[in-house]
Chain A
Amino acid sequence: MAKEYMNIILADDDEDDRLFFTDAFDELKINTKVSTYNDGVELMDYLNAEDAILPDILFLDLNMPRKSGKECLIEIRDNEKFQNIAIAIYSTSSSEEDIEETFVQGANIYIKKPSDFTLLKKVLSDVITINWQYHTSGLNKDNFLLRM
């Protein structure tokens, strides 16, 4: 990989989910740097900052107070600056229509939060791997769509 580590950001208002997420990455043997934000506003504030280090992958929960994941998604995809960020929607169950809608709005990945920790680790690992493959194999990031 070009850099030493992968930059990962999670925006989720749920404390437990943030815990699961960071724990999972801790136990994975991938070089990652994980930061978390509590809601959409915090996230966008960070991203929009001048000196922001943009993540390789952004995990977005949909149900967040103040600014929802969907709003963030639209805002981010509207901004050229963020076009290289792979966005993974990380959410509890949604309807088929809603899932498709997130893809249409520009999400690359949709992850239904698993209820098993081991499974969570596997899912996150797969996401990282596939994303990296896109990065290194000259594959078209626009067509990067993954649902787990």
Chain B
Amino acid sequence: MKLNLKFDLNTIAKIHLNHLLKESNLNYKSIGFGEIEILEALSEEKIVELSAKLLENGIEIVENQKSVFVQKIKDAIIEMVQNPDDITVKSSVYLSEKLNYNYSYISNIFSEVTYTSIENFIILQKIELAKQLIISNELTLTEIAYNLNYSSVAHLSTQFKNTTGITPSAFQRIVSKRKELASKK
């Protein structure tokens, strides 16, 4: 029988990481998304071994400090995008407050590491969320637009099209046709 699934990536990653670390007999503490503390010292060998194992499972140990920071920025952005109701200030203000750095610093580091701007990343995240909401079929486009703090459906459409090159309705069509195709196989 057919089941529709929605993935809560955070939870999946956490559980999977937990599982992997348990396998390696490592105790750890989770500090935030993307940050854990191993409660024991690890040798170079062990680190390489762990690195490889985690990598196989799609988890990368980030060494670069800047990369760490950028990851933090990304996390903050993701959270901001996913909870638009709680945000009453501009994104630059929000991030600056959340990360305790001024915005231009944050922005520069981000661009340096990722080769793209924060604004672009925010838009990317928003559009990704919009895609998920469209797929879930629970909300109309108008509702999605307002949920994500767009001033109108047209605004969402514009940004969607600028980002992906296709319109939200075309996206919806494609996704549902894909589902149809999959169910026939």
Q: A145-B171, A147-B165 are in contact. Are A129 and B132 (CB under 8 A)?
A: no
| A109 nearest CB neighbor, chain B only | B165
CB of A53 closer than 8 Å to a CB of B: no
- Whether A140 pairs with B128 at a CB distance below 8 angstroms is yes
- Whether B135 pairs with A133 at a CB distance below 8 angstroms is no
Binary CB contact string for chain B from 112 to 141 against chain A (1 if under 8 A, 0 otherwise): 001110000100110010011001000000
Query: Which of B114, B132, B170, B181 lies in contact with A105, CB distance below 8 A?
Result: B181
Q: How far is the CB of A8 from chain B (nearest CB, A)?
A: 17
Binary CB contact string for chain A from 103 to 114 against chain B (1 if under 8 A, 0 otherwise): 111100010000
- Whether B165 pairs with A129 at a CB distance below 8 angstroms is no
Q: Chain B contacts of A138 at CB under 8 A? A: 9, 13
- Whether A148 pairs with B165 at a CB distance below 8 angstroms is yes
Q: From DSSP, what is the main secondary structure of chain B's interface residues?
A: helix
CB of A2 closer than 8 Å to a CB of B: yes
- Whether A129 pairs with B115 at a CB distance below 8 angstroms is yes
- Whether A100 pairs with B170 at a CB distance below 8 angstroms is yes
Number of interface residues of B (CB under 8 A): 27
A106-148 with Cβ < 8 A to chain B: 106, 110, 129-130, 133, 136-140, 143, 145-148
- Whether B164 pairs with A145 at a CB distance below 8 angstroms is yes
| B131 nearest CB neighbor, chain A only | A143
Q: Chain B contacts of A129 at CB under 8 A? A: 115-116
CB of B72 closer than 8 Å to a CB of A: no
- Whether A103 pairs with B174 at a CB distance below 8 angstroms is yes
- Whether A100 pairs with B173 at a CB distance below 8 angstroms is yes
- Whether B135 pairs with A143 at a CB distance below 8 angstroms is yes
Q: A129-B116, A147-B166 are in contact. Are A140 and B174 (CB under 8 A)?
A: no
Q: How far is the CB of B185 from chain A (nearest CB, A)?
A: 8
Q: How far is the CB of B50 from chain A (nearest CB, A)?
A: 15
- How far is A103 from B178 in the complex, measured between Cα atoms in Å? 8
| A136 nearest CB neighbor, chain B only | B114
CB of B53 closer than 8 Å to a CB of A: no
Q: How far is the CB of B55 from chain A (nearest CB, A)?
A: 7
Q: Chain B contacts of A146 at CB under 8 A? A: 164-165
| B33 nearest CB neighbor, chain A only | A138
Q: A104-B174, A138-B9 are in contact. Are A147 and B124 (CB under 8 A)?
A: no
Binary CB contact string for chain A from 86 to 113 against chain B (1 if under 8 A, 0 otherwise): 0000000000000010011110001000
| Further contacts, 9 of them, CB under 8 A, given A140-B131, A145-B174 | A100-B177, A103-B174, A104-B177, A129-B116, A137-B121, A140-B7, A140-B128, A143-B132, A147-B164
Name 26 interchain pairs, CB-CB below 8 A, sorted by A: A2-B60, A100-B173, A100-B174, A100-B177, A103-B174, A104-B174, A104-B177, A104-B178, A110-B165, A129-B115, A130-B124, A133-B124, A136-B114, A137-B74, A137-B124, A138-B13, A139-B124, A139-B128, A140-B7, A140-B128, A140-B132, A145-B164, A145-B166, A145-B174, A146-B164, A147-B164
